[in-house]
Amino acid sequence: MLAGLGLMAAIIAVLLAFPDTGIGRGLNRWLVEEPARRLNRLQRGKVAIYALLAAIGFVLVLLFEAEGMRLFGFLLPDTLVWFAMFDVGVFVDALLITGAILATNGLRAIRAQATAAPRQVATIIRRWAARARRVLKPASRPSGTTSDDDRPAWARQPAYRAFSMA
């Protein structure tokens, strides 16, 4: 641990004190410019996935302490390979776009239902009022059909009303 700190202090000292030497330029190229170039190539989706992965690791360590660190250590290499192999950033972008579209259509559907609600309430009130005014009739006699007729005696199904957020 102490050797690592001493090595880092020596590298920083060379970078600051001797920036024009061959070693200073090489260290600057490999430790400053190259990481900056690679960070510039990262896409937003990948940054979001890596941030989510770091948050999952942090939560695992907070919840399970040493076991969470072990679990995250086992999970991380496979997950990083999976991200690299399938370019998960594209999937994240697609999911974000899909969520935005669904949210837009959902708001449109809610707005349509909100404007139709007063008409529906008025219709229900009219039906209740008509039912209250209606005189109850005595039960009619059976129509003479039996359950073993050749015709189906199914109840009439109400119309299907599809509602979709998409």
pLDDT digits (tens, 9 = 90+) for 14-67: 888 988 989 889 988 988 899 999 989 888 877 887 888 889 888 888 888 888
Question: Is the separation of the CB atoms in 67 and 74 below 8 Å?
Answer: no
What's the pLDDT band for 148 if we cut at 50, 70, 90?
A: low
Question: Is the separation of the CB atoms in 110 and 164 below 8 Å?
Answer: no
More confident residue, 97 or 86: 97
Question: Is the separation of the CB atoms in 165 and 106 below 8 Å?
Answer: yes
Domain borders along the chain are 9-41, 44-127
Q: How far apart are CA 38 and CA 41, in angstroms?
A: 5
Q: What's residue 45's pLDDT?
A: 77
More confident residue, 91 or 3: 3
More confident residue, 152 or 74: 74
pTM for this entry = 0.35
Q: What's residue 134's pLDDT?
A: 67
pLDDT at 135 over 70: no
More confident residue, 2 or 37: 37
Question: Is the separation of the CB atoms in 49 and 88 below 8 Å?
Answer: yes
